[in-house]
Structure 1
Amino acid sequence: MLELIWIGSAYFMGLVASRLMLPPLVGYLLAGYGLHAAGFSPLAALPHIADVGIELLLFTVGLKIKPRSLIRREVLSVGGGHLLLVAGFSTLTFFWLDQQITGGLILGISLAFSSTVLAIKVLEDNGELSSLHGRDVMSILILQDLIAIALLAFTDGHQPTPWALELLLIPFLRPIAYRLLEASRNAELRLLLGVTMALAGGVFAEHLGISADIGALLTGIMLGGHGKTEDIAHKLWSLKELFLVAFFLQIGLNNLPTQQQALTALALLAWLPLQGGLFFLLFILAGLRARTAFVSSLALTTYSEFALITTNAAVKSGLLAQEWQAIISLTVAGSLAIAAPLNRYSHILFAWLEPLLTRFERKQGQALLDRIPESLGVAEWLVIGMGRTGTSAYVALHGRERRVVGFDADPIVVESHLAENRRVVYGDSEDTELWAGLPLDRVKGVILTLPQFSLRCSAITQLRNRGFQGKIGAIYYYDDEQKEMLRLGANFVIHPLSEAGNQMAKQMLATHGASVSED
């Protein structure tokens, strides 16, 4: 019965939060506070379930870590610079308030972390996870997660045994792990393998006197790089979220915040705009354009779930007072409640603020990828979105000796096409500056193969508003998409699967005709 009350409360409060355009996490925390106020106490198993959720979280972080992505200039300068400035300020503040310096430093660094869950959700919903700013945000989040892991190791309170160096043997187990992954051909087996390896890494680390979270992270890093790890990370994401519900419920069930704690949380929330401004300034100094810097900064202007985890560990170790658990839980929940709707409309917000923000751009030393193409040369055809369909369109036009240029918002996709000697440049279709500054005088037609319907509609609208008189072709997946894009000004739209069927029938008939003529 108690399990039903807890899970049901978390569900209904999460549902209410989502209906209010807030992350369900806010609802889970409120459910915990409500259960505590109603006189419920946490189950004995709840902390253990929460620990499993944290291990799965860190394991999935390890799967995504790519050292090359962490050593880019904007990642190190922005992510590292922000952490150092916020940590230094928090240390001075706690020294001035005559508080514990070590605890203040840990708290300050924790508050410099941004919400991985919210940022990934927003970028994924907007189709921007693989864009330039999406990759920068993800890399900075991973850098912050690594620092968080170091904080957890410092605040854990356990003394590692001399055998702790055995953790360095985990990467050498990669061939065995890859063999197991190749043998696990079913989706269920791959999911079970991921959970097993995350828990095995945690158990091994605990046996050596190290936090289980460290072992789960190292195991994730060891398994990362395989072609199927993306599938494991995707499947573990929902499972990990389910286990983490216990963690957020536990925070609320522990105690209710007092009025003074609530005021302190509000004071910390008042610092959020300054954090966002600091991120924006650092991105600008790293050479990014105002639009890229603004959208990236907005995605990072939150307090992280990791702040709850590190604060909890610091309190257990006696480095922070007990009251900080309630303060930080309220602060994190409030930051997510503020940031979620703002990120949903980040591009609209930038359009309003564009005249002001573009004044901060550095014309010298601008990042190579984050530039608007000043010329398309003699190109007469544009392909926007260089996935499978876009690449096929590009190859078909190039094969007919047409002058064609491809655009894509994923820097990795751009690099791969350049390696194939295709003329492809970086360009984000949501960037109003791209359409405003793109030279279209010679262009006869534009092909839109973007996966998101909203992006195709936006591109058509901006092209026609620009006065483009050439042909516009686009893909569609549903009938209502077809009607809307034709209404906005597309000359023709094609369903990729229907066209594949037509081509297959033509090829089959052509082959049949050839065989009959040969007979």
Structure 2
Amino acid sequence: MEFLLLLIAFICGFACKLVSLPPLIGYLVAGFILNAMGFSSNPAISTIADLGITVMLFTIGLKLNLKDLIKPEIWFASVAHSAVWILCCVGLLFLLALIPLAHFTELSFMQLALIGFAFSFSSTVCVVKLLEESGEIRTRHGKIAIGILIMQDIFAVLFLVFATGKVPSIYALALFALIPLAPLLKKLLSEAGHGELLPLSGLVFALGGYQLFELVGVKGDLGALVFGILLAGTSKSSELAKSLLSFKDLFLIGFFLSIGLTALPDLEMTLIALLLTLLIPLKFMMFFALFTQLRLRARTSYLASLILSNYSEFGLIVAAVAVSVGMISEQWLVIIAMSVSFSFVLTSILYKQSHNQYILIKEPLKKFQKPRALAEDVYPSFNNVDVLVIGMGRVGKGAFSALSKDIGSAVCGMDADQDKINRLNKDGYNAIVGDGENIDLWENLDISNIKLVLLALPSIEDSSNITCQLRSAKFNGKVAAIARYEDEVQPLLDSGVDQVFNFFTDAGLGFAEESLAILGRGQPTQADKQA
């Protein structure tokens, strides 16, 4: 039985990947297929699903900056969107109740509001997955989306506490003692090394936080998130998040399967789910209006609104609790599950081409943009720069250091992560904040004197997109990029990159030539330094 579950999940996930959809949609379909075959959820699948959510929230906490949550574009947008959405949903669902569909006719005002509340959440799983796959989780719009999700998660936890009547124990006040214990937890993490003990320590922290909060009557998922936040901001937090990535992805398969195994929908439920999916553009417009009114730039507002335009697994959790206490019927849990699934498909398809979509419609969107941008959204500038290194990770920093030895301040680094750039500037790096896929950035940045742009990015899709943006902005210099695999070289060249360095092959060549240089038998070439 276990093998059949894995086999069908693999087949459906692989089929989605072949048509350029995220595999998670395939796992949802696999759950419905297994349901139709007579399978039902079991404790093992539920446990794996819970592990996936717990580890995911822990990794979100590792990347979270609490200062971001107190910004108006996060807390106000979250509260205002939820309130307006619920009011609109109540009105729209009331109108839909006029249609002679059995599941609408007997809904009370309270039930309408509860269903609207369940649909107010955006999917943490879907959003984080798409942002990670596109390498945009630390971009401006990525951080905005994550902040909104965290606020929504807090709303969900508060609902679960009040709906279940589960009052935290008086001992929950002792959880505040975790704050002064944070340095000790970070010390333990730093001593975990880089091997198998690192992901094991992450699982211990995540599950330990879950169990600790449960012991004092607080939702365990919140404990995993808090422990991640306590460990955030260290040099090891990013490495820990990467080491847990495979575990998280594997566990989340169980979560998506469990959604499909909840119940098998009929034709009427499917029709209602499709009707509710048609409300997603309204969610997008609400987010976009709020973001632009809060002085975010049109592009940031568009991308953040687009990726948040879906329904959430937390809506399912809210619905499941509501069913357990008799507030709504079981059929609505199935309807919400299908709507969540449809919304995942819609977001995955639309966001994949989001940057190209923005280029086509940016002028109409900019009409909603406020004249005065927020301080974080002011475009950077530089002078007397010959070489621009985009992506200041390990490879980018290495290339920057090698180039700066030869041309000094004529090299500049750029990265979309504001926190990373702040750290680099403190260390003496000449670096600016910028999202290379932002066509507005290139149109407002003077790149006429730049001779070379070096793309030190792990994703060839990002490198290709940035190259296209540069060429659209009339950049006439050279573009160099890195590739991890041989089959990535030609697509980069086809996108307009002038020179591609194979990460592993050229790294070995550079290592050999540097070694020979020690013996006085050769000197490393400039190309190797740039790689």
- The 1-side partners of 2:265 and 2:236 are apart by 44
Q: What is residue 247 of structure 2 aligned with on the other side? A: 239
- The 1-side partners of 2:393 and 2:299 are apart by 24
Q: What is residue 528 of structure 2 aligned with on the other side? A: none
Establish whether residue 414 from structure 1 lines up as the match of residue 421 from structure 2. yes
Q: What is residue 137 of structure 1 aligned with on the other side? A: 145
Greater C-alpha Rg: 1
- The 2-side partners of 1:488 and 1:93 are apart by 46
Length-normalised TM-score, structure 2? 0.82
Establish whether residue 275 from structure 1 lines up as the match of residue 283 from structure 2. yes
Q: What displacement does 1:176 show?
A: 5.0
Matches within 5 A, 1:357-506: 357-363=365-371, 365-373=372-380, 376-391=382-397, 394=400, 396-397=403-404, 400=407, 403-420=410-427, 422-464=429-471, 467-477=474-484, 497=507, 500-501=510-511, 504-505=514-515
RMSD value over aligned CA atoms? 3.5
- The 2-side partners of 1:488 and 1:237 are apart by 30
SS for the counterpart of 1:360 is coil
- After the TM superposition, which of the residue ranges 427-436 and 446-455 deviates more from structure 2? 446-455
Q: What displacement does 1:402 show?
A: 5.7
Question: Which one-letter code corresponds to 1:72 in the other structure?
Answer: K
- The 2-side partners of 1:478 and 1:10 are apart by 28
The answer (yes or no) to whether the contact 1:372–1:433 under 8 Å persists in 2 is: no
Q: What is residue 33 of structure 1 aligned with on the other side? A: 32
- The 2-side partners of 1:201 and 1:109 are apart by 27
Q: What displacement does 1:346 show?
A: 0.9
| C-alpha spacing 1:499/1:428, structure 2 compared with 1 (3 Å) | farther
- The 2-side partners of 1:118 and 1:210 are apart by 25
| C-alpha spacing 1:433/1:511, structure 2 compared with 1 (3 Å) | same
Q: What is residue 103 of structure 2 aligned with on the other side? A: none
Matches within 5 A, 1:45-444: 45-90=44-89, 99-174=107-182, 177-185=185-193, 187-363=195-371, 365-373=372-380, 376-391=382-397, 394=400, 396-397=403-404, 400=407, 403-420=410-427, 422-444=429-451
SS for the counterpart of 1:425 is strand
SS for the counterpart of 2:265 is coil
Name structure 2 gaps, 5 residues minimum.
98-105, 524-531
- The 2-side partners of 1:171 and 1:239 are apart by 27
The answer (yes or no) to whether the contact 1:460–1:489 under 8 Å persists in 2 is: yes
Question: Which one-letter code corresponds to 2:192 in the other structure?
Answer: S
- After the TM superposition, which of the residue ranges 100-109 and 486-495 deviates more from structure 2? 486-495
Q: What is residue 8 of structure 2 aligned with on the other side? A: 9
- The 2-side partners of 1:33 and 1:252 are apart by 4
- After the TM superposition, which of the residue ranges 272-281 and 33-42 deviates more from structure 2? 33-42
SS for the counterpart of 2:196 is helix
- After the TM superposition, which of the residue ranges 490-499 and 311-320 deviates more from structure 2? 490-499
- After the TM superposition, which of the residue ranges 155-164 and 335-344 deviates more from structure 2? 155-164
Q: What displacement does 1:420 show?
A: 4.5
Question: Which one-letter code corresponds to 1:362 in the other structure?
Answer: K
| C-alpha spacing 1:278/1:443, structure 2 compared with 1 (3 Å) | same
SS for the counterpart of 1:407 is strand
Q: What displacement does 1:308 show?
A: 1.4
- The 2-side partners of 1:484 and 1:17 are apart by 22
- The 2-side partners of 1:123 and 1:419 are apart by 28
Q: What is residue 516 of structure 1 aligned with on the other side? A: none
- After the TM superposition, which of the residue ranges 275-284 and 432-441 deviates more from structure 2? 432-441
- After the TM superposition, which of the residue ranges 328-337 and 113-122 deviates more from structure 2? 113-122
The answer (yes or no) to whether the contact 1:100–1:319 under 8 Å persists in 2 is: no
SS for the counterpart of 1:127 is coil
Question: Which one-letter code corresponds to 2:81 in the other structure?
Answer: H
| C-alpha spacing 1:46/1:183, structure 2 compared with 1 (3 Å) | same
| C-alpha spacing 1:142/1:46, structure 2 compared with 1 (3 Å) | same
The answer (yes or no) to whether the contact 1:10–1:27 under 8 Å persists in 2 is: yes
- The 2-side partners of 1:87 and 1:400 are apart by 57
Q: What displacement does 1:347 show?
A: 1.2
Q: What displacement does 1:230 show?
A: 3.2
Question: Which one-letter code corresponds to 2:308 in the other structure?
Answer: L
- After the TM superposition, which of the residue ranges 437-446 and 343-352 deviates more from structure 2? 437-446
- The 1-side partners of 2:218 and 2:485 are apart by 53
Q: What displacement does 1:67 show?
A: 1.0
SS for the counterpart of 1:187 is coil
The answer (yes or no) to whether the contact 2:189–2:198 under 8 Å persists in 1 is: yes
SS for the counterpart of 2:244 is helix
Q: What displacement does 1:166 show?
A: 3.7
Q: What is residue 517 of structure 1 aligned with on the other side? A: none
- After the TM superposition, which of the residue ranges 69-78 and 43-52 deviates more from structure 2? 43-52
| C-alpha spacing 1:186/1:344, structure 2 compared with 1 (3 Å) | same
| C-alpha spacing 1:423/1:73, structure 2 compared with 1 (3 Å) | farther
Deviations 1:142-190 (CA, angstroms, capped at 9, x unpaired):
2222222222223334344444434444445445544543453363333
Length-normalised TM-score, structure 1? 0.84
Q: What displacement does 1:316 show?
A: 1.1
| C-alpha spacing 1:509/1:413, structure 2 compared with 1 (3 Å) | same
Question: Which one-letter code corresponds to 2:4 in the other structure?
Answer: I
Q: What displacement does 1:138 show?
A: 2.1
Aligned length in residues: 510
| C-alpha spacing 1:108/1:405, structure 2 compared with 1 (3 Å) | same
The answer (yes or no) to whether the contact 1:25–1:333 under 8 Å persists in 2 is: no
- The 2-side partners of 1:225 and 1:449 are apart by 23
